[in-house]
Structure 1
Amino acid sequence: MNKDALRRLVEERWTALEAERTTGERRLRVSQLPVDGDQGPLVVGVDHGGHRHLLVPVTSHRKIRPGLDGPVLLLRKRALEDEDSYQTYADLACLRDDLSDLFTELCVDVLEAATGLPENPLKALYRVLDRWKALFQTQEAPLGPEQLAGLFGELILLNRLLERDSSAHRVWRGPEGHRHDFSTGGTAVEVKASTASEGRRPQIHGLDQLEAPDGGELFLLWLRLQRTTVSGSGAGVVELVNRMLRLCDDEGALLELLAQVGYRPADADRYHDARFVIGEEQWYCVGPGFPGLTNAALVAAGVPISIMDVEYTIDLSGETPEPMAPGEVSRVMNGLIQESA
């Protein structure tokens, strides 16, 4: 079915539903569409207030992306039940009747995308929402060499987590301004990457970056990176991003996180030469005896905390603190996945 046919179809279905008698405030008048996903057909609906809806069927345990909560569009999880069936949906609603024509175009784009991705129509929905959102995004300055190295380090860990769980991008908290790069509340990991050829001297930002979560554990991943060429060995930033988008179950949420650190797919051509080889990788448990300047240490020493914007460098080049064993590293990554479920 082409785009014009889809547009006529959804308009006809919405018009017919609007002509029906209204029901309870929490009820929807719905009509199935001839566009199928892995959990059944997509559905259009009209609620008690006359607002139009597009519903994408999902499994009951599927999480729906937060953040789209009006005043124009509302995206939430909704269950529809009748005498014979019970189905959970991602429910996209337009709360502005004067924008119904634009909502129709958005929904037609979703239906067209879902036709090409029947195994994951929710992913198709997110893709379309993100494309429309991109119309209003402004251009920003490209990432510099140090920023690219830091991003590469975080993407290395995120890829490993996504291999274990397609929802693991939810524990990547650094882009949102969290004090730790990865955190579940009980387990946190700070990633430090450097292109220096000698030493292990990560820079620490703030008095709380090396403080573990309350009642939890903090770990530090140190990576020594060597810049290489496009035709050389190693991995590229763009390659890691593309791989993550294939692995994750919510491309849009991941793209939003990337945008918050300054990376946008539209700028990918700028970063094709950004490739690195991992020359050294060490993991550390940030516990007693680990070097660092923290709020807790200052309080314990009786020093008043009246300073801000603290940055300092620690030296991990010696034999102490001792790096973690591979088995312990695996435990940490499994803990991040399990705690985020």
Structure 2
Amino acid sequence: MSVTPDAAALLKEWDELAAVARGDRLYRSRRLSRPVQLDLRAGLREADGAPCLVALPGGAGNSITSFETAGLRLSRAADPAGLLLVLSLEETSRRDLFAEICSDCVRSVLRAEDEGETELVTVFAARLAAWRAFLRDQTPGLSRNEIVGLIGELLVLDRMLDENTEAVAAWKAPDDGLHDFVLFSHGLEVKTALGAARRLHISTLDQLDDAGLVSLHVAHVRLVESVAGETLGQIAARIEQRLNGERARGTFRNALLRRGLAPRGDTISGPRVACVGMDCYAVHDGFPRLRRSDVALGIAEATYQIDVRALVSFAVDAAAVLNTFGGTGDE
């Protein structure tokens, strides 16, 4: 049957399925008209009428990790048609959110299919994993400081793309990486200030530890609010358009979701900022920092601030630092 991949259509589909007489299978379902190469179905669980998005992934479904978080569950079920991968709603109060998540996952698959991607189960699983991370860490929304921090990371990524079209792979912050960017054992921490702030906030004892790295640098991104500037959503949309192909764009969208930015389509909310400078500092012996090896036993963790005026002697050319992420691995 024909179902467009939006939340309203899925909600209607579940309501219509609820009026269908119960059968003797685990789920009553109807296949979506698209995607063509992956069997996706709007469904209801017979036992309790819980809304579901059901996929028949074939053998590829065996490698997908099950989870339960924020009232959603991803599980496997045996069916005469084969293995079922079932995303189900376990908390009825989150029905609208569930519809949004399901429609978003379907759209991700459709975009990939439209560009000739054949591994649609992989696309589906990656989007589900991104939503799992988002829901696990979900708060009422990104705080102003979190928005500013994410803008700084994206502006650095934007600069890296000038040197390396695959630079999204170096962005480790969405995966809770120790350093915001890592490529060829070069690490980069991004610290962003909006306005006149002159201190860098360091959140862990490991953040400025360069053990195991060829190099570690800190990029201090300086922003000001400006009516001529860009919002977080606009910066993200602009970067997405720079990427080549749906696979790269999908990877970027998943990274944004894991980083806490919901795909709401709102590109104009939040502060409108302009970048007025990007200073880089080399982290090596003598750099003002705290590491686990520097503090007394028994201190499990610490946060601290660094005055940027103490970093003058560690300043290096920002373009040269970003060039280390240009895809060659050279200094």
For residue 122 of structure 1, report the CA deviation from its aligned partner: 5.3
Correspondences of 1:130-209 after superposition (within 5 Å) = 140-184=139-183, 186-197=185-196, 199=198, 201-209=199-207
How many equivalent pairs are there?
A: 253
Amino acid at match of 2:175: E
Aligned equivalents of 1:186, 1:220: Cα separation in 2: 15
Counterpart for residue 239 of structure 1: 234
1:333 positional shift:
2.5
Tell me which residue corresponds to 1:38.
none
Query: CA offset at residue 236 of structure 1?
Result: 2.0
Moved more, 317-326 or 109-118: 109-118
**Structure 2 letter corresponding to 1:244:** I
- Evaluate the alpha carbon distance shift between residue 100 and residue 271 of structure 1 in structure 2; reply closer, same or farther with a 3 A threshold: farther
* 1:295 aligns to 2:292 (yes or no): yes
Query: Deviation of residue 173 (structure 1)?
Result: 1.4
Bigger Rg over Cα: 1
In the superposition, relative to structure 1, how do residues 133 and 314 fare at CA in structure 2: closer, same or farther (>3 Å)? Answer: closer
In structure 1, the residue matched to 2:328 is 338
Contact persistence 2:163–2:323 (CA under 8 A): no
Please tell me whether the aligned partners of residues 283 and 314 of structure 2 are also in contact (alpha carbons under 8 angstroms).
no
Contact 1:182 1:188 survives alignment (8 Å)? yes
Residue by residue over 1:252-310, the C-alpha shift from the partner in whole angstroms, topping out at 9 and shown as x without a partner, is 433332223221112x42853432111221011111222111234x2xxxx53321230
Matches of 1:281 and 1:273, distance apart in 2: 21
Structure 1 CA distance, aligned partners of 2:271 and 2:80?
46
Give the CA deviation at 1:162.
3.5
1:269 to 266, 269, 275: 266
Is it true that 1:224 corresponds to 2:214 in the alignment? Answer: no
Q: CA RMSD in A?
A: 4.4
Secondary structure of 1:269 counterpart: coil
Tell me, what secondary structure is at the counterpart of 2:142? Answer: coil
CA shift at 1:240, angstroms? 1.9
Instruction: Work out the percentage of aligned pairs sharing the same amino acid.
Output: 23
Distance in 1, Cα, partners of 2:268 & 2:278: 23
- Partners of 2:58 and 2:82 within 8 A in 1: no
Kindly tell me: are residues 289 and 273 of structure 1, through their superposed partners in 2, closer, same or farther at Cα, counting changes over 3 Å?
same
Tell me how far apart the structure 2 counterparts of residues 253 and 129 of structure 1 sit (CA, whole Å): 12
**Structure 1 residues 329 and 269: alpha-carbon distance in aligned structure 2, compared to 1, 3 A threshold:** same
- SS of the equivalent of 1:338 reads coil
TM-score, with normalisation over the residues of structure 2? 0.61
Note the C-alpha offset of 1:151. 0.5
What is the letter of the counterpart of residue 203 of structure 2? H
Query: Do the aligned partners of 2:187 and 2:213 also contact (CA within 8 Å) in 1?
Result: no
Unaligned stretches of 5+ residues in structure 2: 4-36, 40-55, 67-75, 86-102
For the 8 Å contact 2:38–2:121, the answer to whether it is kept is no
How far does the alpha carbon of each residue in 1:297-332 deviate from its partner, in whole angstroms, 9 at most, with x for none?
x2xxxx533212301111122572242125522432
CA distance 1:43–1:281, change in 2 (3 Å):
closer
What is the CA–CA distance in structure 1 between the aligned matches of 2:312 and 2:291, rounded to whole Å?
A: 19
| 1:191 CA displacement | 0.2
- Relative to structure 1, the CA distance from residue 237 to residue 327 in structure 2 (aligned partners, 3 Å threshold; closer, same or farther) is closer
After TM superposition, list the pairs within 5 Å mapping 1:209-220 onto structure 2: 209-220=207-218
Q: Is the 8 A contact 2:171 2:181 kept in 1?
A: yes
Aligned-partner residue type, residue 314 of structure 1:
I
Corresponding residue to 1:309 among 301, 322, 327: 301
Deviations 1:20-72 (A, max 9, x none): xxxxxxxxxxxxxxxxxxxxxx799xxxxxx96499xxxxxxxxxxx982368
Structure 2 residue identity aligned to 1:219: H
Cα 1:147–1:112 change in 2 (3 A) is closer
**Partner AA of 1:305 in structure 2:** L
2:266 aligned with 1:256, yes or no? Answer: no
Q: Does structure 2 retain, via aligned residues, the 8 Å contact 1:113–1:125?
A: no
> Helix, strand or coil for the counterpart of 1:153?
helix
Instruction: Give the match's secondary structure for 2:63.
Output: coil
Tell me what 1:60 maps to. Answer: none
Q: Is the 8 A contact 1:185 1:213 kept in 2?
A: no
Which residue does the alignment assign to 1:27?
Answer: none
